[in-house]
């Protein structure tokens, strides 16, 4: 779109190139197929949600409750299996639950008119609480084999179903966002909800659709999580929201809405995954990993800003 965005993405490509080069030269195992599969597999649920989070943040909102919806849907799945109902039914119920949880968020945000940060902060706490209510101190295992296989085994090659779900989401959401009328509405509302309203756009409807989608996709991610780990517990997916938001912001999506691209987010996802994987292979602890990503996040905005300023001063 604008020049700045283009340069942001080229910056990301540069960072990605450097990270990959460093990883290849310093971590011999990096390029192995298994490692490349693991690299996605380990964070697959986060990156799936990052796709819809991109739309939500471009829309000028935020959804902090995604990880709690994931947790609650995973725990609901566990509970349903535990009482002996078939897994296929459980899957449907959980997806429905996710959509409902998203709709509850949407209700407070669009109908009552409370800022999404506040609403989803409360539902972050509340939904997680219901996961606790369901499972208390239990963990649930014993899911059907086909379900577990779905989460773990390769569907084509060694790539599991969840990977294709991610790819499909990236493709469709990126077309929706950048090529369709709905996407244009998302951008416009993010830019100025008032202008959008005055232009006859149905602001509440667009927002509701996004939050409901977010609920559904988070529930799906929760199911992938349950399948991959073959077990659920009350703390499933705890704290994932910050990682997801970090990826989206590093992708150049403006936290104030109205700006960003799916390409940027995909690049940023690749960077974060590569970086984490590379550091893990170099035996760097979790704290340092998080700190490095934090520094990268700040630096990726700070350095272009500084360069811009230097340029304007020197000319």
Partner 1 sequence: MISPPLAGERSTIVSHPILELRHISKSFGMTAAMADVSIAILPGQVHAIVGENGAGKSTLIKILTGVHQPDEGEMLVDGKQMQIRSTEDAQKHGIAAIFQEPMVFPDLDVAENIFISHHNLGLVMNWATQYQHANEIIARLGITLDPRRLANGLTLAEQQTVEIARALSLNVRALIMDEPTASLSAHEVDRLVQIVEALKMRGVAVIYISHRLEEIFRIADTVTVMRDGKHISTKPISQVTQQGMVRDMVGRSINHFSMKVAANAHGEKILSVRNLTRDGVFSDVSFDLHIGEVLCFAGLIGSRRTDVGLALFGVEPATSGYIEVARQPVTIDSPQSALKYLIAYVSEDRRKFGLALNMPIFANISLPSLKKLLRLFGLIDRKAEIAMAESHRERLSIRTPNVTIDVGKLSGGNQQKVMLAKWLETEPRILIFDEPTRGIDIGAKTEVHNIIRELAIRGVAIIVISSDLPEVLMLADRVLVMREGRQMGIFDISEATQENIMALATGQTAAMSQ
Partner 2 sequence: MNVLLRNFHPQTLRVITLAVVLLLVIVFFVSQIDNYFSPRTLNRIASSAAVILPIAIGQAIVVMTRNIDLSVGSLVGITAYVTGDILAYAPFGPFLTLFIALSIGALCGAFNGVLVAYGRVPSIIVTLGTLALFRTFLVEYSEARTITTDSLPKWVVELPQTTLFSVGVLEVRVMVIVALVAALIFSLALWKLRAARKFYAVGSNPDAAIMAGINSERVVFTAFVLSGMLAGLAGLIFLARFGNITVVAGLGFELKSIAAVVVGGVNIFGGSGTILGVVLGTLLVDTIDNSLIRWAIVSEFWREALLGILIMTAVAVDTFMARSYVQLRKLVA
Partner 3 sequence: QKGGTANLVLLPKFLGILPFDQARRGAEEAHKELQNKGSLDYIGPTPENSVAGQIEMLTTATTQKKNVVMLSNNAGDQIAAAAEAAQAAGTKVVTWDSPIPSGKGETVFVAQVDFGSIGVVMADMAHSIMGGSGDFAILSATPDAANQNAWIAAMKETLKGDKYKNLKLVDTVYGDDQAEKSYNAALALVDKHKNMKLIMAPTSVGIVAASKALQDEKLCDKIKVSGLGVPAEMVSYTMNGCAPEFALWSFVDLGYLTYYTSYALATSAIKGNIGDEVNAGRMGKFKIEADPGRKNTKRILMGPFTVYNKKNVEAAAK
Q: What SS3 state is found at 43? A: coil
Strand partners for 159: 156
Q: Does residue 233 interact with partner 3 by CB under 8 A?
A: yes
Which part of the chain contacts partner 1 (CB under 8 A), choosing from 23-31, 34-42, 196-204, 217-225?
A: 196-204
Quote the CA–CA distance of 169 and 181 in Å, as a whole number. Answer: 18
Which residue is listed with tokens 């700045």?
Answer: 4
Quote the CA–CA distance of 220 and 92 in Å, as a whole number. Answer: 10
- Which member of 25, 283, 305, 314 binds partner 3 (CB under 8 A)? 283
Which residue is listed with tokens 């609403």?
Answer: 119
Size of the site for partner 3 (CB under 8 A): 38
Instruction: Using alpha carbons, select from 259, 270, 297, 195 the residue that is nearest to residue 3.
Output: 259
Which residue is listed with tokens 């509701």?
Answer: 208
Quote the CA–CA distance of 1 and 211 in Å, as a whole number. Answer: 25
Chosen from partner 1, partner 2, partner 3, none, partner binding at 108 (C-beta under 5 to 8 Å by type): partner 2
Quote the CA–CA distance of 41 and 151 in Å, as a whole number. Answer: 9
Which part of the chain contacts partner 1 (CB under 8 A), choosing from 56-64, 88-96, 101-109, 173-181?
A: 173-181
Instruction: Output the six-digit token pair for 79.
Output: 């509970």
DSSP state of 278: H
Helices 87-106, 203-229: crossing angle, 10 deg rounding: 150
Could you tell me the smallest distance in angstroms from the CB atom of residue 285 to partner 3? 5
Q: Does residue 126 interact with partner 2 by CB under 8 A?
A: yes
Q: Does residue 198 interact with partner 1 by CB under 8 A?
A: yes
Chosen from partner 1, partner 3, partner 2, none, partner binding at 231 (C-beta under 5 to 8 Å by type): partner 3
Which part of the chain contacts partner 1 (CB under 8 A), choosing from 77-85, 120-128, 146-154, 186-194?
A: 186-194
Q: Binding string, 103-142, against partner 1, x = CB under 8 A? A: ----------------------------------------
Instruction: Using alpha carbons, select from 53, 55, 16 the residue that is nearest to residue 259.
Output: 55
Chosen from partner 3, partner 2, partner 1, none, partner binding at 210 (C-beta under 5 to 8 Å by type): none
Which part of the chain contacts partner 2 (CB under 8 A), choosing from 85-93, 142-150, 192-200, 296-304?
A: 296-304
Of residues 9 and 243, the one with the C-beta less far from partner 3: 243
Q: Does residue 232 interact with partner 3 by CB under 8 A?
A: yes
Q: Exposed (0-12), middle (13-18) or buried (19+): which is 309, by Cβ within 10 Å?
A: exposed
User: Which helix (H) or strand (E) segment is 233 a member of?
Assistant: strand 232-233
Q: Does residue 115 interact with partner 2 by CB under 8 A?
A: yes
Instruction: Using alpha carbons, select from 103, 162, 93, 151 the residue that is nearest to residue 127.
Output: 103
Instruction: Using alpha carbons, select from 300, 276, 290, 242 the residue that is nearest to residue 38.
Output: 276
Binding site for partner 1 (CB under 8 A): 1-2, 175, 179-182, 184-185, 187-188, 191-192, 194-202, 258-259, 312-313, 315
Binding site for partner 2 (CB under 8 A): 108, 112-115, 117-119, 121-130, 132-133, 136, 234, 242, 245-246, 249, 254-256, 287-288, 290-291, 293-295, 297-298, 301-302, 305-306
């Amino acid at each position: 779109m604008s020049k700045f965005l283009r340069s942001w993405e080229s910056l990301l490509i540069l960072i990605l190139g450097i990270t990959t080069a460093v990883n290849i030269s310093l971590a011999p195992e990096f390029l192995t197929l298994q490692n490349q599969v693991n690299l996605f597999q380990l964070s697959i649920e986060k990156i799936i949600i990052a796709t819809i989070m991109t739309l939500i943040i471009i829309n000028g909102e935020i959804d902090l409750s995604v990880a709690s919806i994931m947790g609650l849907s995973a725990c609901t799945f566990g509970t349903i299996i535990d009482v002996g109902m078939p897994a296929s039914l459980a899957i449907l119920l959980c997806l429905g639950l996710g959509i409902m949880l998203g709709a509850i968020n949407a209700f407070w945000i669009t109908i009552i008119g409370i800022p999404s940060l506040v609403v989803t902060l409360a539902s972050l706490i509340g939904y997680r609480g219901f996961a606790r209510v369901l499972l208390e101190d239990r963990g649930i295992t014993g899911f059907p084999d086909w379900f577990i296989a779905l989460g773990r085994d390769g569907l084509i090659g060694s790539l599991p179903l969840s990977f294709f779900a991610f790819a499909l989401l990236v493709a469709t959401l990126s077309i929706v966002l950048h090529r369709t009328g709905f996407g244009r509405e998302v951008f416009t509302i993010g830019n100025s909800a008032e202008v959008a309203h005055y232009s006859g756009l149905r602001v509440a409807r667009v927002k509701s659709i996004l939050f409901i989608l977010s609920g559904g996709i988070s529930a799906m991610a929760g199911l992938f999580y349950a399948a991959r780990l073959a077990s659920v517990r009350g703390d499933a997916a705890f704290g994932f929201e910050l990682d997801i938001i970090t990826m989206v912001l590093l992708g150049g999506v403006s936290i104030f809405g109205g700006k960003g691209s799916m390409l940027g987010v995909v690049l940023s996802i690749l960077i974060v995954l590569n970086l984490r994987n590379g550091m893990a292979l170099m035996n760097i602890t979790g704290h340092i990993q998080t700190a490095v990503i934090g520094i990268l996040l700040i630096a990726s905005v700070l350095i272009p800003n500084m360069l811009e300023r230097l340029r304007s001063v020197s000319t």
